[in-house]
Structure 1
Amino acid sequence: MDKTQEQLSSEVLQSRESLSKQENGNRSVQPGLTRQFIDKYNDPWLALEAANEYIGWGVTKLDGPKADNLSSIVQSEVEEALHGVLDSIARVEINKVPNFVHSMDLQDIRISASEIVEAVYWSLMYLAIVCETYNMGWLELWEEHYSKLKSNGYVL
């Protein structure tokens, strides 16, 4: 997005000074503004970076020296991570009372949680690449998912 702060300020109805403070980190970017940008530009990386900034952790775009062929790396990593999740969760039962879990079981639960984090990371990377490459709506996909959760009675 190649716009000046002045052009952007008229587009988002904020002063240039306010945008400058947000850009420099002197003021937090408001969630509504972030959503407006994600809606307008369909930028999944912006969504992930915003979530990372708001909560202090999360998925960020890979930019290291090994991230040259991002799409094929992510495809391979997500497949490996999902297989790891299936293997690790098959070995645990999370319906046990935490105070009565043996240390070996707790170790397996910890491993499965770590595998889940890995799978979530690579799955979100995969989703971001698919949305960006094939111009799929990042917010639209999440809104569809939320609607399914709601219709299944998981959220109000």
Structure 2
Amino acid sequence: MEKGKASRMLREARLKEGKSQNQMSMDLFQSREYITKQESGERKISPATAHHFTKKYNDPWLGLQAAFEYTGIGITKLDGPAVDLHRTAVKSKLEEELQEAIEAMNKAKITNRPEFTQSFELQDIEQSAREFIDVIHASTTYVATICQEYNISWPQLWEDHHRKLQSRGYVTS
């Protein structure tokens, strides 16, 4: 089986922390063999493993990548040759994406009755959605970057956000 990006990220994170597979297996209450299989790509990264690294090491990327590999959709860490992940570049890219998305949203004609939407209007609506996916990715990259750079807890931000949603009656649990 081909080794996925999450598998490589798991191994790199473990080595960065100076842990052996045996030490990590004790931290996670998983067998060393299971850790080996996750790192080799023979098994997908378990939610428990992704959660452990996200909480303990304030690194959102392993969890996001594992979720992407489970579902085939969502956020993945940018790692191509054209990417600049310096905090100021990430901030500038988010600003650019937000502006493009606002422009696309303002162009899109959202109607009360979607069944009467013309094809050219639907194209504008779809383009608006595409621009907002760019914003979601850029926003996630921005928040993950500042959390790591400024030692802000990624898990705590999300826990606080979830509590806010609960308090406003937007989610029930």
Q: TM-score, normalised by structure 2?
A: 0.82
Tell me the residue number matched to 1:8: 24
Match of 2:118 among 93, 98, 102: 102
What is the CA distance between 1:150 and its match in structure 2? 1.2
How far 1:16 sits from its partner (Å)?
A: 0.7
What is the identity, as a one-letter code, of the residue corresponding to 1:87? E
For structure 2, list consecutive stretches of 5 or more residues without a partner in the other structure: 1-16
Are the equivalent residues in 2 in contact too, given 1:67–1:73 (CA < 8 A)? no
Aligned length: 156
Q: Structure 1 residue 30 and structure 2 residue 12: aligned?
A: no
- Aligned-pair distance for 1:71? 2.3
User: Could you say which residue in structure 1 is the equivalent of 2:66?
Assistant: 50
Distance in structure 1 (CA, Å) of the matches to 2:25 and 2:121: 55
Counterpart contact for 2:28–2:48, Cα < 8 Å: no
The 10-residue stretch of structure 1 (68-77 or 118-127) with the greater mean CA deviation from structure 2: 68-77
Task: Tell me how large the CA RMSD over aligned residues is.
Answer: 1.7
Identity %: 44
Map Cα deviations across residues 100-130 of structure 1 (whole Å, 9 max, x no partner).
1111211110110011011111111101100
Residue in structure 1 matched with residue 7 of structure 2 by the alignment = none
Q: Partner letter of residue 134 of structure 2?
A: E
Shift of 1:153: 1.3
Deviation, structure 1 residue 95: 4.6
Residue 65 in structure 1 maps to residue 81 in structure 2: yes
* Match of residue 134, structure 2, among 73, 97, 118: 118
Say whether residues 1:145 and 2:161 are aligned partners.
yes
Answering whether residue 102 of structure 2 is matched by residue 86 of structure 1, we say: yes
Checking the alignment, whether the CA contact within 8 Å between 2:65 and 2:75 is kept in structure 1 is: yes
SS of corresponding position for 1:90: helix
- What TM-score results when the alignment is normalised by the length of structure 1? 0.90
Give the one of 150, 157, 162 matched to 1:134: 150
1:78-115 alpha-carbon deviations (Å, 9 max, x no partner): 00111111122123343532221111211110110011
User: Residue type matched to 2:139 in 1?
Assistant: S
Post-superposition shift, 1:68? Answer: 4.5
* Paired AA for residue 8 in structure 1: M
The corresponding residue for 2:35 is: 19
Task: Between the two structures, name the one with larger relative contact order (CA 8 Å, sep ≥ 6).
Answer: 1
Contact in 1 for aligned 2:109/2:124 (Cα 8 Å)? no
Q: What amino acid is the match of 1:133?
A: E
> Any unmatched runs of 5+ in structure 1?
none
